[in-house]
Amino acid sequence: MSNLAFSTSRLSIKTRRERKLDQLSVSGRQGMSIGIASLPAAGARALVRVIAGAVKPSSGHLEVLGGNPRSMRVRSRIGVSLSPEHLDDDRSVNPFLQEVARMKGLSHAIAELEVRDLIAELGLHGLSDCRIGELQATARLLLCIACAFFGNPELIVLTEDPSMLPSIAQAPLLRRMRKHIQQGATVTVALETVGTFGASCDELILLSRGRLIGQATPERIRESITGMDMPGSTSFRRQEGRSEPPEPSLAEICQWVLEHPDEIAARAKRWNEPR
């Protein structure tokens, strides 16, 4: 039995105006978190949406949880975050989440319990009776992400980037994600920037113009740039009063890799080689 939550082979998504994914072959193992970052950002969003079964690829092979993500058998095992435009601004937080939970097949009693626990874990308890249209951006984004967790899904797909949340809101979200991962679920997230949240992922997939740069752990990506000159990176500019520039952050490293795929290509090919 395969231990892969998803895999793609020579997968492409193209429109009349652009090719969002181009001959992409990647995979994600069960029980881990995988962050996907790309330039332009549309590539990462396209990949998570095709994994969730929301978009049909133009060509290539895709397998999710051992089947087609557009089939009801597989889709029922996937939890997907909502886009902000799909929130019902006229509803209150608690009844809206309960409706989402029941749509995942939960009974009224179980939905009520899961909503109560999720609201408490994510720090939304003071907002459960608030109208969604009155929520600030942070609470709206948390609400979108919360919708992916109901019913113990085997694959959680976050189309909205948690990196946009303040650190105080990211911490409980990470704890909730880790709880699902410990139970064997896989979490896949589209990242606009590889910040603290991206650094917490078990693996990162980096794309440039729809093509794969590489897939590796954050630590392996950081190690791969050792000894490289990264012109343009702020961390490599000599600062006043310092004999040596500071080490670059993972966010800076990944941004540089995304902007210079040809310069990292040879090293990226070795990211998954045994140490």
Task: Write the pLDDT tens digit of every residue in 121-175.
Answer: 999 989 999 999 999 999 999 999 999 999 999 999 999 999 889 989 999 999 9
**Which of the residues in the chain have pLDDT under 70?**
1, 231-245, 273-275
Q: Which of 147, 166, 198 is the last residue of a domain?
A: 147
Examine residue 125 and state whether it is found in any structural domain, yes or no. Answer: yes
Contact call for residues 124 and 143 (beta carbons, < 8 A):
yes
Output the pTM of the full model.
0.91
Looking at the structure, tell me whether residues 41 and 125 fall in a common domain: no
CA distance 222 to 268: 11
Domain count within the chain: 2
The pLDDT assigned to 227 comes to 73
Examine residue 274 and state whether it is found in any structural domain, yes or no. Answer: no
Examine residue 247 and state whether it is found in any structural domain, yes or no. Answer: yes
Examine residue 273 and state whether it is found in any structural domain, yes or no. Answer: no
Looking at the structure, tell me whether residues 260 and 194 fall in a common domain: yes
State the Rg of the chain over Cα: 20
Looking at the structure, tell me whether residues 73 and 192 fall in a common domain: yes
The pLDDT assigned to 141 comes to 95
Looking at the structure, tell me whether residues 38 and 61 fall in a common domain: yes
The pLDDT assigned to 231 comes to 60
Examine residue 93 and state whether it is found in any structural domain, yes or no. Answer: yes
**Exposure string for 44-53, b = 16+ CB within 10 A, e = fewer:** bbbbbbbbbb
The pLDDT assigned to 237 comes to 47
Domain that holds residue 65: 4-81+148-268
Looking at the structure, tell me whether residues 60 and 174 fall in a common domain: yes
Looking at the structure, tell me whether residues 11 and 137 fall in a common domain: no
β 186-191/155-158 pair status? parallel
- DSSP helix, strand, coil percent of the chain (3-state; round to 5): 40, 20, 40
Task: Return phi, psi of residue 32, to 5°.
Answer: -150, 165
Looking at the structure, tell me whether residues 97 and 65 fall in a common domain: no
